[in-house]
Every structure is written in C-alpha cells, then in structure tokens.
Amino acid sequence: MTSILASTILGIDWVKILMHLIVFVVLMTGLTFLLYKPVLKFIKKRQDTIQEGLDKGKQMQEEAESLKAEYDAKLAACDQEIADKQKTAQAELDAYLEEQKQSADHDIAALKAKAQEDIAQERQNAVEEMRGEVVDVAIKLTEELLEKEISEEDNSKLIQDCLSAWGGEHD
C-alpha cells in the first residue's frame, strides 16, 4: 500500500496528482451545485429584471413620444385655430372700419349738402333783402317824384279810372 501510494514514475507522484484531481473534481462538482448554479440563477434573475426594466423604459419612452406627438398635433391645431380666429377678427375689424368710414363719409356728404343748402338759402335771403331795400328805395324815389311831378290831368285820369272800376261812369 505504501509502495502504491508512494510510487512515482519519472519522479512525479501520480497518486497525489490523482488525489488532487479527485479532490478538484469533487470540489468543482460541489461548487457547481452549491455556488455556480445559484449564482447563475441569481445572475439570470437579475438579467431578467434589468431586461424587464429596459423593456418597460422603452415602452414608456414610446408612450411618451406618442403623447408628445399627440400634444404637438394639438398645439399645431390650436395655433391654426388661433391664426384662423385672428384672420376672422381682422376681417371683421376691417369690415367694421370700412362701415364706419362709409358712415362718416355719408355724414360728411350730408353735412356738406346741408351747408350748401344753408349757403344757398342765406344767399337767397340776402338777395330778397337787397331786393326789398331796392324796392323801398325805388318806391321812396317814386313817391318823391310823384309828389312833385303828377299833373292835375294825371290825377283826374286816375280818379276817373278808379270810379269806373268801382262801378262809376265817366265821360
């Protein structure tokens, strides 16, 4: 037995090597079952957890991008609506200003026509007044002239004409 255990070939203790190999194998086998597989399992589990997190993150990113796209579309729609309403309001304002301008033009034309009418009336009144004054002066002159110039014959003729008109007789 000792001779077997102590046998060497070429100076190498093959029994010890074999024993070491057997111990190594046993150790490795034990580590495999006690350490390697649990560690592997733990690593797999952790890997799955990480992957799950990555997948979830990717999903959330996609959802966020989808929401962003949706909000961008809504913002664009709001911007368009605002632009449309601004355009409509501007058109209404322009129409209102045009209406006010036309109303003002109409009022100005009416005032101008009224002023011209008033001027014409004033001119007519002045002409009438002047005509009256001229008539007054002419009549005054006529009175003064008649007072001096009417003859007995003319006066008699005048009386005769009146009596004829009133139903009298004349020779």
Partner 1 sequence: MTNIHVTVARPLLDTDRVKVEAFLAKKYGEYTVVYHVDDSLLGGIVIFDGEKVYDGSLKSKLDALKTNG
77-to-73, 80, 87 alpha-carbon distances in Å: 6, 5, 15
Query: Closest distance between partner 1 and the C-beta of residue 132, in Å?
Result: 6
Say how far apart CA 158 and CA 146 lie, in whole Å.
13
Query: Closest distance between partner 1 and the C-beta of residue 142, in Å?
Result: 6
Phi, psi of 7 (to 5 degrees): -70, 145
Say how far apart CA 18 and CA 25 lie, in whole Å.
10
Here the tokens at position 126 are 């002045």
Say how far apart CA 154 and CA 145 lie, in whole Å.
14
Binders of partner 1 among residues 109 to 168 (CB under 8 A) are 131-132, 135-136, 139, 142-143, 146-147, 150, 152, 154-156, 158-163, 165-168
Query: Closest distance between partner 1 and the C-beta of residue 135, in Å?
Result: 5
Query: Closest distance between partner 1 and the C-beta of residue 154, in Å?
Result: 7
Residue number with CB closer to partner 1 (11 or 171): 171
Total residues in contact with partner 1, by rule CB under 8 A: 27
Here the tokens at position 16 are 């010890």
Residues of this chain that bind partner 1 (CB under 8 A): 131-132, 135-136, 139, 142-143, 146-147, 150, 152, 154-156, 158-163, 165-171
